Amino acid sequence: MSSSVLYMSMSLDGYIAGPNDGPSNPGGDGFDRLHEWIATPDGEFGRPAGPAGKLWDEWNATGAVLAGRRTVEQVDHWKGDHHGVPIVVPSHRPPGPSVANYPLVTYVADGIESAMAQAKAAARGKDVMVHGAYTAQRALEAGVLDELQIHQVPVLFGRGRRLFDVLPAQVELEIVRVIDTPEATHIRYRVRR
């Protein structure tokens, strides 16, 4: 059975994007700092050496992606290819015209529960990778987010976009794994129900 797992790099003070985050500056100022842990020596994103390499392998083994509209639009839906798996986008508005060129991208208009169910079906027993702060908050609220893989980077942003800015209630988590590296502490949590 597949699990839904939020994968997110975050500053120690809870920011997943820096200030001035928008379509012309995806991730905002300083965004690359949150992802240095996954940069190869030449500065490109790739499988990191050491224990963090396991995380790269895990997310490349996921069977589908569920990502918020804001997230996918800022990266033009990853040109329709996020490690070759279906991309499900919960949204109450129809997609823009570029999506017609991306057969792996599906917009779901009838809520986060339906979007997650469709993503899990598309994943065919593999995990669903979840992206986006708003989407993660709605999935937690609806009880359809199973786990969180937080890559906590040793930096304080002080401003930007927070991962859990608004939650309707307290959410209890269980730590299931910690991988500590000099670049980040990778903590995997299970949502207690």
User: What is the average pLDDT value for the chain, to the nearest integer?
Assistant: 93
Q: Mind giving me the DSSP string for 129-166?
A: EEE-HHHHHHHHHHT---EEEEEEES----SSEETTS-
CATH of the domain at 156: 3.40.430.10
pLDDT tens-place string over residues 23-75: 889 889 999 999 999 977 777 788 888 888 899 999 899 999 999 999 999 88
Q: Please check the confidence at residue 182 and state whether its pLDDT lies above 80.
A: yes
Confidence of residue 148 (pLDDT cuts 50, 70, 90): very high
pLDDT of residue 111: 96
Q: In this prediction, what percent of the chain has a pLDDT beyond 70?
A: 100
Residue 55: which domain range? 4-191
Q: Domains in the chain: how many in total?
A: 1
How high is the pLDDT of residue 192? 96
pLDDT of residue 23: 82
Residue 136 scores a pLDDT above 80: yes
Q: Where are the beta strands (DSSP E) in the chain?
A: 4-11, 15-17, 64-67, 87-90, 105-108, 128-131, 147-153, 161-162, 173-180, 185-191
Share of the chain above pLDDT 90, in %: 79
User: Does pLDDT of 11 surpass 90?
Assistant: yes
Higher pLDDT, 151 or 168: 151
Q: What is the pLDDT of residue 162?
A: 93
pLDDT of residue 88: 98
User: Residue range 111-135: average pLDDT?
Assistant: 97
Identify the pLDDT of residue 106.
96
Q: Give the mean model confidence (pLDDT) for residues 118-127.
A: 98
Closest-CA residue to 16 (of 113, 116, 136): 136
Residue-wise pLDDT for 87-122, tens only, equals 999 999 999 888 999 999 999 999 999 999 999 999
- CA–CA separation, 42 vs 138, rounded Å? 37
Global pTM value = 0.93
